[in-house]
């Protein structure tokens, strides 16, 4: 059993119920079933990819707004910030898609919090501060965005907790012997 652990470069997870370390099926879209206790572990690869897809959506949005502003020749300091944000989003997307085990990658987890933190600041916090008077329409728009981000942050937090539970930290935690 120890030999299997040594020779398999495939990413593994630790069952959150019984602690068995096993390589999840690389292609499945469903949950990762533990070979020892049959517990259903969340398909972390798929979850991290859906976070990356949210980033792709954000990147498209940023690029469209940026292109519009360049077209209207309204380029300013904010556009430099947007360009930097686009690069950050792109790096995050590429990192998640290239990683064998994004759930065990601390850099990816930090990038995700930074990217969504920036998005929250720009879409909720700044519009709230930028206008002294808040009319009904703006209040509704900002509240709606706030709720959306609340849901996203709830999901990111849940994902982080799952990743912590399932990430294989050290090789010697393997309890493959049943």
- Under the criterion CB under 5 A, does residue 176 sit at the interface with Zn ion? no
Report the site for Zn ion in 27-56 (rule: CB under 5 A): 34, 36-37, 39
Give the range of 9-17, 47-55, 88-96, 128-136 binding Zn ion by CB under 5 A: 9-17
Structure tokens at 121: 């600041």
> Within positions 54 to 113, which residues make up the interface with Zn ion, using CB under 5 A?
none
Of 111 and 174, which has the nearer Cβ to Zn ion?
A: 174
Q: Residue 15 Cβ, how far from Zn ion at the closest point, in Å?
A: 3
**Contact status, residue 5 vs residue 174, Cβ threshold 8 Å:** yes
Q: Which is nearer to Zn ion, 13 or 93 (CB)?
A: 13
Q: Is residue 18 near Zn ion by the rule CB under 5 A?
A: yes
Residue 64 or 176 with smaller CB distance to Zn ion = 176
Nearest approach, Cβ of residue 138 and Zn ion (Å): 50
Residue with tokens 């997307």: 93
Give the long-range contacts of residues 119-124, CB within 8 A, separation 24 or more: 119/58, 119/149, 120/149, 120/153, 122/85, 123/149, 124/149
Q: Is the dihedral of CA 46, 48, 54, 58 positive or negative?
A: negative
């Amino acid at each position: 059993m120890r030999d299997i652990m040594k020779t398999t470069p495939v990413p593994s997870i630790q069952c959150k119920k019984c602690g068995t370390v096993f390589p999840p099926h690389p292609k499945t879209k469903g949950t990762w079933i533990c070979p020892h206790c049959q517990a259903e572990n969340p398909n972390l690869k798929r979850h991290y990819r859906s976070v990356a897809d949210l980033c792709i959506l954000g990147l498209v949005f940023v690029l469209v707004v940026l292109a519009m502003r360049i077209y209207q020749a309204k380029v300013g300091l904010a556009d430099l910030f947007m360009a930097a944000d686009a690069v950050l989003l792109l790096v995050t997307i590429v990192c998640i898609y290239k990683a064998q085990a994004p759930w065990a990658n601390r850099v990816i987890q930090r990038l995700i919090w930074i990217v969504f933190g920036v998005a929250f600041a720009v879409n909720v916090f700044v519009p709230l501060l930028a206008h002294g008077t808040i009319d009904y329409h703006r209040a509704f728009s900002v509240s709606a965005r706030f709720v959306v981000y609340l849901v996203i942050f709830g999901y990111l937090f849940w994902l982080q907790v799952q990743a912590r539970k399932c990430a294989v930290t050290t090789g010697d935690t393997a309890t493959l012997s049943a």
